[in-house]
């Protein structure tokens, strides 16, 4: 969240015993000033976001100024959510997977170093899965999707998925990359399929041309002989049509399919490395948070032990030890807050890159499918044209076949080959 109001909202410290107002205390149908929208925090408290300036505040815009009421008994380790996602970039739906840890939200920042380690929070506000922090499902209202009704990549691949081939997990982003690379492979195989189709056309054309030169039945005469000669010629014409068809298939279908995104795999590899590096950085920040949390627990335990010793025996040395332990505990609390802040920054960066990159992958997939569709439409168009041209090669054959006249052929042949029209008679005695 941006703006001074956002910083105040995230850093607000509440006193124990204060109860947050119910989520429905203000209807979302209440008209707000232009540019303002209202949402619910993980604790169920309503807050307001200026979509133009990213300013956030507990106070309803336009209401009288004053100190905002407390959102709940403890400060959440994540900022409120906007459109179903934390302002730090964390998706609020915890996915179903193993390797999760439930973390209580941290208490008052001023008491972080001096509170007793035995105290427990009343609610579990967050849940960490594979170093990614999500809101706890029991304390988070139902989220809105970034792109409702679109089944967008940016809404459904925040979790890791169990690897069916082993005991590990596969990141949601990795699944998207696998789909992209599979799409590239399918595109390549389609190009190879068209290449085989071209080979068949070329071989077919070659055989047609060869057959058209065959001398079989070359001595047929008359109108039938003319029709037969046209049949053979039509084969040569058809061979030419199929050669042209194969050439167009190569230039207008096969080649574009093969050359589309020649560097796609290399680009996807760079993209994979970028997101993976951000995820590794997030894991490193999470490890630092856990280390700092452990150190704070140890400092608090040491402080509590020295406090108990003071109750038994009062001395200047014990008081000095307590002051020293309190300073160390406070420092450990500050270190933890710093580590959490760095973790949230890393998670926010990862979130932003995930949204941007998944939307780009979505665009590339639509572009790939549309490109293939267009070229397959071109294939069918060429097929229709080829059929039309093939039909034109047999039309002269049809015309000559309709003119075949056995009687006329007989007349012409007799006139050319007759040997005499005087018939024999009986012999006289």
pLDDT tens digit string along 259-285? 898 888 888 888 999 999 999 999 999
For 148: left if phi > 0, alpha if psi spans -120 to 50, otherwise beta; the answer is: beta
188 Cβ partners below 8 Å, 6+ apart?
Answer: 257, 258
Output the pLDDT for position 292: 95
> pLDDT above 70 covers what percent of the chain?
75
Output the pLDDT for position 317: 66
30-52 average pLDDT score: 72
Higher pLDDT, 154 or 167: 154
How far is Cα of residue 136 from the mean position of the Cα atoms in its chain? 25
Furthest-apart CA atoms within the chain: distance in Å: 176
Highest mean pLDDT among 10-14, 239-243, 256-260, 416-420 belongs to 239-243
Report the first-to-last Cα separation within the chain, whole angstroms. Answer: 137
pLDDT averaged over every residue in the chain: 79
Are the C-beta atoms of 86 and 79 separated by less than 8 Å?
Answer: yes
Token pair of 243 as six digits:
């050669």
Are the C-beta atoms of 135 and 44 separated by less than 8 Å?
Answer: no
Output the pLDDT for position 164: 78
pLDDT tens digit string along 364-400? 999 999 999 999 999 999 999 999 999 999 999 999 9
Output the pLDDT for position 126: 83
288-317 average pLDDT score: 83
Angstrom distance (rounded) from CA 173 to CA 181 = 12
At 101, the pLDDT band (50, 70, 90 cuts) reads low
């Amino acid at each position: 969240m941006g703006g001074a109001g956002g910083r105040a909202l995230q850093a607000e410290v509440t006193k124990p015993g204060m109860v947050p107002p119910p989520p429905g205390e203000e209807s979302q149908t209440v008209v707000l000033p232009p540019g303002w929208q209202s949402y619910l925090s993980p604790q169920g408290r309503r807050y307001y976001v200026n979509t133009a300036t990213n300013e956030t505040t507990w106070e309803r815009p336009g209401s009288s100024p004053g100190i905002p009421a407390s959102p709940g008994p403890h400060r959440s380790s994540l900022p409120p959510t906007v459109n179903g996602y934390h302002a730090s970039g964390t998706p609020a739906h915890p996915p179903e997977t193993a390797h999760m840890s439930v973390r209580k939200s941290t208490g008052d920042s001023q008491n972080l170093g001096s509170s007793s380690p035995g105290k427990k929070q009343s609610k579990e506000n967050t849940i960490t899965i594979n170093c990614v922090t999500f809101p706890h499902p029991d304390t988070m209202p139902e989220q809105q999707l970034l792109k409702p009704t679109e089944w967008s990549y940016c809404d459904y691949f925040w979790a890791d998925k169990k690897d069916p081939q082993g005991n590990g997990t596969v990141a949601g982003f990795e699944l998207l990359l696998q789909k992209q690379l599979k799409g590239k492979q399918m595109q390549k195989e389609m190009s190879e399929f068209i290449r085989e189709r071209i080979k068949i056309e070329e071989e077919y054309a070659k055989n047609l041309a060869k057959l058209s030169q065959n001398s079989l039945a070359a001595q047929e005469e008359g109108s039938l002989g003319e029709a037969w000669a046209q049949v053979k010629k039509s084969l040569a014409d058809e061979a030419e049509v199929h050669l042209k068809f194969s050439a167009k298939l190569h230039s207008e279908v096969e080649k574009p399919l093969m050359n589309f995104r020649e560097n796609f795999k290399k680009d996807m590899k760079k993209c994979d490395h970028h997101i993976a590096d951000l995820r590794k950085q997030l894991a490193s920040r999470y490890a630092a948070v856990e280390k700092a949390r452990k150190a704070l627990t140890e400092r608090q335990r040491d402080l509590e032990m020295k406090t108990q010793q003071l109750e038994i025996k009062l001395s200047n040395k014990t008081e000095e030890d307590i002051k020293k332990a309190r300073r160390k505990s406070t420092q450990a609390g500050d270190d933890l807050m710093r580590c959490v802040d760095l973790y949230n920054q890393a998670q926010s960066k990862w979130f932003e890159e995930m949204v941007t990159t998944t939307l780009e992958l979505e665009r590339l997939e639509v572009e790939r499918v549309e490109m293939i569709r267009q070229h397959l439409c071109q294939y069918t168009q060429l097929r229709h044209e080829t059929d039309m041209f093939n039909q034109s090669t047999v039309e002269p054959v049809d015309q000559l076949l309709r003119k075949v006249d056995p009687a006329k052929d007989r007349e012409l042949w007799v006139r050319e080959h007759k040997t005499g029209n005087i018939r024999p008679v009986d012999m006289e005695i």
